[in-house]
Structure formats: structure tokens, C-alpha cells
Amino acid sequence: MIGDRPVWIAAIPPKPAQAGPLQGLTFAIKDNIDYAGVPTTAGCPAYAYTPERSAPIVELLEASGAVVLGKTNLDQFATGLVGVRSPYGACSSVFNPAYISGGSSSGSAVAVATGQVDFALGTDTAGSGRVPAAFNNLIGWKPTRGVISNDGVVPACRTLDCVSVFTRDVATAQRVCDAVAPEGVPAAWSQAGFRFGVPRPEQLEFFGDAEAAKLFAASVHRLIAAGGSPVVIDYAPFLEVAQLLYSGPWVAERYAAVGEFLEAHGAEAHPVVRDIILGAKQHSAIDTFRAMYKLEDLRLKTLAAWKQMDVMLLPTTGTTYTIAQVEADPVRLNSNLGYYTNFVNLLDLAALAIPAGFRPNGLPFGVTLIGPAQSDRSLLALAARLEEVQVAVVGAHLSGQPLNKQLTERGARLIKTCKTASDYRLYALANTAPPKPGLVREAGFPGTGIEVEIWAMPVARFGSFVALIPAPLGIGSLVLDDGSTVKGFICEPGGITGARDISSFGGWRAYLASR
């Protein structure tokens, strides 16, 4: 695939799936992870080598039944959070080709978001397993350091690197976790009431993105609805740690990994990547030890926050950017994207990026759940409680209508108002209390669409909501005017006997206003 989304660097002929817990799933590999007999480029063709053995994580996934389909594009040498620093082309967000996909694991995220694979491996040093998840509405699991082996991975910062996993839902991420890290059980807080930390209001930074700020506020309420108690923490020491990653000597680890290659092949490398890595030579061994001492001092300061909270909730990024913006100002904007991500591996924390809604312009927003080392299963369990299903409502469940409380009581939140596809009819059903409409799809009906509201509801509470719906109504798949499909209210054809066709009103509200 080329153009807006150059996802693949190399195809891998699929092998027959082995029996195992991941049988039936396909996956992709970021091209800084080895696959036997297939060149590893790390996003730089001149650097390519062909390994004799696959990385242990790849062997483990194949032994568990998953089938690998190919190797994916990335910010060169896994240096960047943007997804545009590649000679193979800049990946874009699946929601708008003008916007970045996030990096460095750009191709892996897009491969999952477009449905080409069920999950994908990325790597994460500064946020590369989380930022692309936020920009493509995915789950991004950044494990505790060492949970997944880094053998067979081209290092960025060897002491900090983690192999990460992208999926479209929490359940798939849990399946992968069970296969690669079967030990451990979720903490009690992930199953019941929990305390979640959020930064002081003045420490939140959205870089002018007011819609992102609103969506983060909604995420706080979402955790409260799920049984969480918010705790305001001091984010300052975490931010100081984040600033060490690129302004401190840890960038010299990148030079230790590929610096000699770049000294000899600088003209064949991406100029931004080359300059970042070669610039690391300015740091001395003395700088390194001083930075290590500072990190330990800051680590102690962060412990005060962890005494107050079980998990931290942060925006995955404060904002997003167009490809043109990043190319015009590559270093500063990349740094902005790391405001909430860069500290995590330095402090050896676990993290799980999850979707958190959409801006009015259609671009997704994401938040990250962060926990202490070895809290991976707890984060996944909590995210499963938070995972949402979108439901289209058409009548008595609309905002301000008598049954809307059935949504709000379950922590549902309004996403948008829109219309169905044109071939739906709306009927005022007979003998219902409170009055309810019935929505029926009729092939070829030349309508203009029926107004609906789209609500996002925690999956864990969806079943109890559906159980309240009386016949002849039910929940089915509803096609919207933009061609997308969501779960929504539909009516059995027999239910319209004696009902009045009110399709011409275009929606339940307009019909009620006419009475």
C-alpha cells in the first residue's frame, strides 16, 4: 500500500497456523523486529540485514497460533512520535489523510486500524506504542519493561525499550497478554472501586486544543461512572522525568545503537533522525551519572503520588498535528506529543492507551491508564470495564426524553447527533407507554434519513440496557448516513401494525413538536 498510508515494508508468506490460544488471529511486525529470512530495515534501507532467527516474541506468537503477514513502516530507527520520518513514506491517520498517524510504530497501528491484521507489534521507548493508538482509535498496550523480551529488536534506548501491542479492542489485547505473559492476576482495585490520579488543572497541557480538553474531562467522568475516585496529584516530578529523555544523556543510548552507522551513512538517513542521534555525542559520562542521580531523586518524589492512587489517567497526547505542520516544525511538535508519555519507561511503569471519543472534526482522542510495574493485567481489566459500545437511539431514549436516564445511569455519554441512511422509515407505534417510535429499514425507500443520537456506553453495562428493551423493539445493526454501522434501535416488521408512518418528519423530536 502506498500514498496516504504506506503501511508495509515487506510481506511475509503466511505459514499454516499452529494450534494455540491465538489461532485465527493475524498480526504484523514493526520493521525493527526480526523475522527469520526477511530483512530488518529499521526504516533505513541502507541499514538492512537479514536475521537467521525471528525475535523470541515473534516465535512465541506463532507458537500460540497467530499468523504473521508482514513487516510495517516506522519512524526511522524508532526515533519519533509522528510517523513521518521514513523513506518509505509518511503514514497518516486513518481518519484524515492530512493528519499524522503517530509514531514511531506508525505502520503497525494503521495496519490494525484498517483491519488488515488483528493485532500488531510495535516498540515503545518514549510513547511509540501509545501515540499511534490515540491517533487511530486503538488499544495500545505498553508492557512493564521486561514482560516481553527485547531480543531480536533493533534498540533505540536499550535500557528503556519495550515491545508493544496494538489491537482494536481490549479483549484481543488480553488474549495476547495471556499468551505471552501468562503469569499474574489483576489487582483488586481493577475489579471494584479504585483511585485514579489526574494532574492539577494548571499542569494539564492541550497546546490550544480545546476539544481535547473537553474529551479528557469527559474521560474523568467516565472513570467516576465506572467506580473510580479522582485524586488530584502533582504532575511536576513526572514531567521533569519526561524532559530527561531527550534533553538528558539517555539520547546517547540511541547513538550507542546506531551512531557509528550514521557517522558512515549520514546521507542515507532521515535528516531529523540523523541530527537527533548524532547530537547525542555532546553528553559526557559525567552527564550520564548526574542524570541518573536526578532520575532517582525524581522517582522518590513520584512515590508520594502513588501512595494516593492506584492508577494514573492522562491524555495520551494533548493534541494532534497535520503532516505539513510536523514537517515544518519537526522537533518542537514531536516534543509536545511526548508531554504525557516520555516519563513512563524511565520510571518503569506499565501503560495502556485507550480510545476516549472524537473531536467534532472526526479525529479521535485517547487517554492512557498508567500503573506501577507489573500492573499490566490490572490495567487491561480496568480498561475492559471502560470499553464502550456506540448505540444509536431514535425515540424515548433521546436527550431530554423519558427513558434517557436508562443511558445516563449506565455512564453513557452523547457522542453526536446525525441521521440514518436514507432507506429507513420511522413509525409512531401504537399503545406504547411512554410513546415510542419504531425504525424499519426498507430497501429502495427514497427517504432523507432519520435523526438519531449516538451514545457511547461501557460494554460491561450494555447487556443490562438491552434487557430493558420491550418487544417489538430490539437492538440491531443500524447504517448511518456516512455509511458506518453502529448498534441501534430497530423494530420488528410485525410491530408496525396499526402504527403511523412519520418518516416525513425526519425524526422523533420533529414529530412530537407537531402534535
Determine which one of 86, 92, 93, 104 is catalytic. 104
The C-alpha angle with vertex 342 and arms to 122 and 311, in degrees rounded to 5, equals 90
Query: Which CATH code fits 8-386?
Result: 3.90.1300.10
Q: Are 113 and 149 in contact (CB under 8 A)?
A: no
Hey, what's the cell of 237? 516530578
The reply to whether 8-386 and 388-514 are identical in fold is no
pLDDT at 1: 34
405 Cβ contact partners less than 8 Å away, ≥ 6 residues apart: none
| 304-326 b/e (C-beta count within 10 Å ≥ 16 → b) | ebbeebbbbbbbbbbbbbbbeeb
Predicted pLDDT of residue 243: 93
Give yes or no: 416 in active site: no
Whether 30 is a known active-site residue: answer yes
- For domain 388-514, give the CATH number: 3.10.490.10
Query: What are the extents of the domains in the chain?
Result: 8-386, 388-514
Q: What is the dihedral of CA 207, 211, 214, 218, to 10 degrees?
A: -120
What is the model's pLDDT at position 369? Answer: 98
Residue 161 pLDDT: 97
Helix, strand, coil share of the chain (percent; to 5):
35, 25, 40
What is the chain's pLDDT, residue by residue, as a tens digit (515 residues)?
Answer: 333 569 999 999 989 999 999 999 999 999 999 999 999 999 999 999 999 999 999 999 999 999 999 999 999 999 999 999 999 999 999 999 999 999 999 999 999 999 999 999 999 999 999 999 999 999 999 999 999 999 999 999 999 999 999 999 999 999 999 999 988 899 999 988 899 999 999 999 999 999 999 999 999 988 987 889 999 999 999 999 999 998 888 989 999 999 999 999 999 999 999 999 999 888 899 999 999 999 999 999 999 999 999 999 999 999 999 999 999 999 999 999 999 999 999 999 999 999 999 999 999 999 999 999 999 999 999 998 888 788 999 999 999 999 999 999 988 888 889 999 999 999 999 999 999 999 999 999 999 999 999 998 888 789 999 999 999 999 999 999 988 888 999 999 889 999 999 999 999 999 999 98
- Number of Cβ within 10 Å of residue 50's Cβ equals 11
CA distances (Å), origin 19, targets 28, 119, 140, 177, 182: 19, 18, 26, 17, 17
CA–CA gap between residue 511 and residue 437 (Å, rounded): 10
104 catalytic? Reply is: yes
Q: Which of 128, 219, 335, 375 is the catalytic position?
A: 128
Q: What is the pLDDT of residue 456?
A: 86
